[in-house]
C-alpha cells in the first residue's frame, strides 16, 4: 500500500519551463525586479504584499475595464475589505476575449450528453450566440441587477445563458435539473428572479426524467417571475400551455447575428453581483452567496492559468452538474483560451469508462473528477491508459472530498506514469480553492501540493493561539482574498455571513476566516485535508479526522463505502458507530469486523476503533458528493429529520431512512444514551 507523502512524480524541466506560472515569474523579474527561488518564496510574497501581488495579476492579464480602479485594496479587516474599488468591468467580456484572436473554427466547447452525440462549438459560434441571447434579454426588459435563474443540464445552452445574463449585468444563479422542487424553491425564492431558463428534463443512466411538473411547481412558487425560457431538451415539443409568459429557446435565438463591434457589455461596479451560488442546504436554508465581477475574475484568471495551467491549446474536463460551483470553474477555462469539455449524464453509462473515452475523443489535457469516481473505476478493474489514446492528457484534478494516497496511486498505475495528479480544496464560498496545485512542484501521495497564490492559509490550534506545522488544525485564512463573498443575499446587516466564517478566531483583535475544515501543512508547504471540523470525532480529548478512518476502512476488501460519527452523551460519555456498505455478496460477520478493527488499529490507532459496526445499504451523500456526517450526527443526537437534513439536498434521499430508524430504535445507542 502506498504511504501518505510518498513521492510519486516530478515535473520534467520542459514542463516547468513552459508552465504559465514560470512565465509569470519571468514577468515579475523583468518588470518588477522580483526574483523567487522556489514556489514557497513566491507564495510568501503573494500573501505578505497582498495589494502588489493582486495589482500584478490585473496588469499581467491586461484586465479590460471601462474605468480604472482607485485602489487594489480598501477598507479595514477581512470583513470590511473592498477589492478594485472604482473599476467598471464585465466578467463575461473576459470569457469571450479569445473569440477575437481564435482561429476560425477553433473549438470553445466539446459537448456530449446521453441523448446527443459528441459535438463541437467554435469560439465564433459561441460569441455569436451569447450576443444574440443577450440582446434579446435586453429586449425582454432585463436590466443590470435583475436575477436570472436556470434549471437546465450541463449543455452549451446553459453556458450561453449564463454568459448572456452576465454580459448585460444581470445576476445568474443555477440549479441542476436533478434537484427536487423544495431544494430549488428554497434557493430561488431568496433572490426573487425575473427570468427562468428551464429544460423539459434530463437523461441519466439511459433513462429520461421529465421535469415539466417540477418546472410548473417552481415557477408557481416564484411570484417575481416575468419570463420563462423553455428548452425542449428531451423532446422537440412546445412548452406546457399552462406555463405563462413562456418563450422557446429557439425563438429567442432565431435572430440576426450581432457583430462583436456592435455589442456593448454592461460595465458594472467592482462588487456588482455576478452570480449567486448556494451552500448545500443539508441542515438549513441554503446560504445565498454573492460573488462580484472583479473578485471572481481576478481569482479565476490566477487559478486557471497558474494552478490549473491551462493555455489556448488545452481542453479541460471536469465531471460536474450545473448545481455545483465546479461547473462555474469549467466555464472559467475560457478565460485562458482553453476549450471546455461539457458532459451531461451518468459517468458510467453506457460503459464504465465512458469519461475516459470522452477524454480521448476530445484530446483533453486536464481531467477532473471526484475520489468517488476513482472508487468506481477501481471496483470495475479499469485501466483506461491501456484502452484509450490519452497522449494529450497532462493533468488530473481531484476535487469534491479529501483524496487518499491510493487515489493518487491509481492514476499512475491505471492511466499513465507521467501525469500531474493534483488535489484541490476550497468551496462554494470562494468559487475556487484555498489549497491546490502548481505545475512546478513534485507530487506526493495524498498531498495537496501547495497553498494557492494570494491565499494566506494557516492551520491553527483549537484556541487559535498557535500556528501548527505537521499537526492537524483548523483551516483559516488570515488575509483577505478577492473572491470572498461580497455578501449573502438578504443578509442586510451581515449577521449570517459573520456567523458563518468570522465568529471563532481573531488575529490582532480582528476576526479571521474559519473555513470549517481540518488541515495539516507540512514543512515543505504541502497540505492534507482531513474532513470537516464540524464533524470532528473526539475520543478522550483527541481529535480525529474522518478522512483518515475512511482511508483505512475502505482498504478492507469487502468494504465499498463507510460513514462514521461520534455522538457526545450525558455524563461525559460518547458513542462512535461506524456504518459500512459492503460489496455485493459480502455479509458483515465477526471476520469482517475483526479485519476492520485490525486495519484501524494498525493504520491509525486504538482511538480510531469504533464502538460498534453496522451494515447499511447506502451511505447518504449531498448532491455535490459529500458524505452527510453532520446530519447523521444530529439525528443521533435526537434532532428530527426535517431539522437535521433536507431530502431534496441529497444525492440518494432513501439512504437517510436507515439512520432515522437507528436513532429511534437502536438498543445499542439507547443503552449508551441512557
CA 547/CA 219 separation, integer angstroms: 40
> Can you give the pLDDT at residue 551?
80
Low-confidence spans in the chain with pLDDT less than 50: 671-674
The torsion of the CA quartet 594, 472, 438, 29, rounded to 10 degrees, works out to -160
Give the domains, in start order, of the chain with CATH numbers.
41-96+292-528 (3.40.50.12780), 123-276 (3.40.50.980), 536-673 (3.30.300.30)
> Can you give the pLDDT at residue 538?
59
| DSSP3 helix / strand / coil % (the chain, rounded to 5) | 35, 25, 40
Q: Using an 8 Å Cβ cutoff, are 280 and 623 in contact?
A: yes
DSSP assignment of 62-121: T---SB--SEEEESSTTTT-EEEET-EE-HHHHHTGGGGTSPTT-EEEEEEETTEEEEEE
> Can you give the pLDDT at residue 671?
45
Model pLDDT for residues 32-56, shown as the tens digit of each residue = 999 999 999 999 999 999 999 999 9
**Selection from 75, 77, 74, 73 nearest residue 511 by Cα:** 77
End-to-end CA separation in angstroms for the chain: 42
> Can you give the pLDDT at residue 601?
83
Model pLDDT for residues 117-175, shown as the tens digit of each residue = 999 999 999 999 999 999 999 999 999 999 999 999 999 999 999 999 999 999 999 99
CA 644/CA 633 separation, integer angstroms: 9
- For residue 350, whether the previous peptide bond is cis, meaning omega lies within 30 degrees of 0, is yes
C-alpha grid cell, residue 594:
475483526
Q: Give me the helices (H) in 583-623, please.
A: 590-603
b or e along 193-210 (b: 16 or more beta carbons within 10 Å of the residue's beta carbon)? bbbbbbbbbbbbeeeeee
> Can you give the pLDDT at residue 73?
95
Measured in degrees and rounded to the nearest 5, phi and psi for residue 120 equal -130, 150
C-alpha grid cell, residue 171:
445576476
> Can you give the pLDDT at residue 544?
66
Residue length, the chain? 674
CA 62/CA 463 separation, integer angstroms: 43
State pTM to two decimals.
0.86
C-alpha grid cell, residue 502:
468570522
Amino acid at each position: 500500500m502506498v504511504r501518505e507523502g510518498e513521492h510519486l512524480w516530478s515535473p520534467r524541466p520542459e514542463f516547468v519551463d513552459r508552465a504559465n506560472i514560470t512565465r509569470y515569474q519571468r514577468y515579475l523579474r523583468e518588470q518588477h525586479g522580483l526574483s523567487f527561488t522556489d514556489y514557497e518564496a513566491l507564495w510568501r510574497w503573494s500573501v505578505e504584499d497582498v495589494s502588489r501581488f493582486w495589482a500584478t495579476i490585473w496588469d499581467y492579464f491586461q484586465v479590460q475595464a471601462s474605468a480604472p480602479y482607485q485602489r487594489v485594496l480598501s477598507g479595514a479587516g477581512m470583513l470590511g475589505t473592498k477589492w478594485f474599488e472604482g473599476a467598471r468591468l464585465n466578467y463575461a467580456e473576459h470569457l469571450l476575449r479569445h473569440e477575437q484572436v481564435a482561429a476560425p473554427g477553433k473549438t470553445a466547447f466539446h459537448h456530449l450528453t446521453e441523448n446527443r452525440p459528441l459535438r463541437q462549438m467554435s469560439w465564433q459560434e459561441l460569441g455569436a450566440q451569447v450576443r444574440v441571447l443577450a440582446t434579446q434579454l435586453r429586449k425582454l426588459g432585463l436590466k443590470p441587477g435583475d436575477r436570472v435563474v436556470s434549471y437546465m443540464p450541463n449543455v452549451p445552452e446553459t453556458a450561453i445563458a449564463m454568459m448572456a445574463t452576465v454580459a448585460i449585468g444581470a445576476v445568474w444563479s443555477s440549479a441542476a435539473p436533478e434537484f427536487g422542487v423544495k431544494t430549488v424553491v428554497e434557493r430561488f425564492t431568496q433572490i426573487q428572479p425575473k427570468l427562468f431558463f428551464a429544460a423539459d428534463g434530463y437523461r441519466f443512466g439511459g433513462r429520461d426524467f421529465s421535469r415539466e411538473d417540477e418546472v410548473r411547481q417552481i415557477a408557481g412558487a416564484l411570484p417575481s417571475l416575468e419570463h420563462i425560457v423553455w428548452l425542449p431538451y428531451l423532446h422537440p415539443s412546445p412548452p406546457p400551455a399552462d406555463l405563462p409568459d413562456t418563450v422557446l429557446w429557439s425563438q429567442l435565438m432565431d435572430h440576426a447575428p450581432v457583430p462583436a463591434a456592435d455589442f456593448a457589455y454592461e460595465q458594472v461596479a467592482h462588487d456588482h453581483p455576478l452570480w449567486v451560488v448556494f451552500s448545500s442546504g443539508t441542515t438549513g436554508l441554503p446560504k445565498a452567496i454573492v460573488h462580484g465581477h472583479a473578485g471572481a475574475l481576478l481569482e479565476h484568471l490566477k487559478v486557471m492559468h497558474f494552478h490549473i495551467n491551462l493555455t489556448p491549446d488545452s481542453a479541460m474536463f471536469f465531471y460536474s452538474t450545473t448545481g455545483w460551483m465546479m461547473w462555474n470553474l469549467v466555464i472559467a477555462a475560457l478565460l485562458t483560451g482553453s476549450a471546455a469539455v461539457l458532459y451531461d449524464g451518468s459517468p458510467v453509462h453506457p460503459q464504465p469508462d465512458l469519461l475516459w473515452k470522452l477524454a480521448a475523443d476530445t484530446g483533453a489535457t486536464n481531467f477532473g473528477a471526484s475520489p468517488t469516481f476513482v472508487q468506481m473505476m477501481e471496483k470495475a478493474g479499469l485501466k483506461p491508459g491501456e484502452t484509450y489514446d490519452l497522449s494529450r492528457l497532462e493533468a488530473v484534478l481531484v476535487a469534491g472530498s479529501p483524496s487518499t494516497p491510493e487515489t493518487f496511486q491509481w492514476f499512475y498505475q491505471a492511466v499513465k506514469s507521467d501525469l500531474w495528479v493534483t488535489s484541490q480544496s476550497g468551496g462554494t464560498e470562494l468559487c475556487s480553492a484555498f489549497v491546490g496545485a502548481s505545475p512546478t512542484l513534485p507530487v506526493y501521495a495524498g498531498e495537496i501540493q501547495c497553498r494557492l497564490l494570494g491565499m494566506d492559509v494557516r492551520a491553527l490550534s483549537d484556541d487559535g493561539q498557535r500556528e501548527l506545522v505537521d499537526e492537524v488544525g483548523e483551516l483559516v485564512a488570515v488575509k483577505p482574498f478577492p473572491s470572498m463573498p461580497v455578501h449573502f443575499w438578504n443578509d442586510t446587516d451581515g449577521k449570517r455571513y459573520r456567523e458563518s466564517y468570522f465568529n471563532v478566531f481573531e488575529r490582532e483583535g480582528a476576526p479571521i476566516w474559519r473555513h470549517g475544515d481540518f488541515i495539516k501543512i507540512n514543512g515543505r508547504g504541502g497540505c492534507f485535508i482531513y474532513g470537516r471540523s464540524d464533524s470532528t470525532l473526539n475520543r478522550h480529548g483527541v481529535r480525529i479526522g474522518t478522512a483518515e478512518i475512511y482511508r483505512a476502512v475502505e482498504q478492507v476488501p469487502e468494504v465499498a463505502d463507510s460513514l462514521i460519527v461520534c455522538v457526545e452523551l450525558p455524563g461525559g460519555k460518547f458513542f462512535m458507530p461506524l456504518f459500512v456498505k459492503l460489496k455485493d455478496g459480502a455479509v458483515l460477520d465477526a471476520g469482517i469486523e475483526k479485519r476492520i478493527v485490525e486495519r484501524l488499529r494498525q493504520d491509525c490507532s486504538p482511538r480510531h476503533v469504533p464502538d460498534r459496526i453496522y451494515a447499511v445499504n447506502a451511505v447518504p451523500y449531498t448532491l455535490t458528493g459529500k458524505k452527510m456526517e453532520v446530519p447523521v450526527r444530529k439525528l443521533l443526537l435526537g434532532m428530527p429529520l426535517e431539522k437535521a437534513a433536507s431530502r431534496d439536498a441529497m444525492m440518494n434521499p432513501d439512504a437517510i431512512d436507515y439512520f432515522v430508524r437507528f436513532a429511534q430504535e437502536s438498543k445499542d445507542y439507547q443503552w449508551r444514551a441512557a
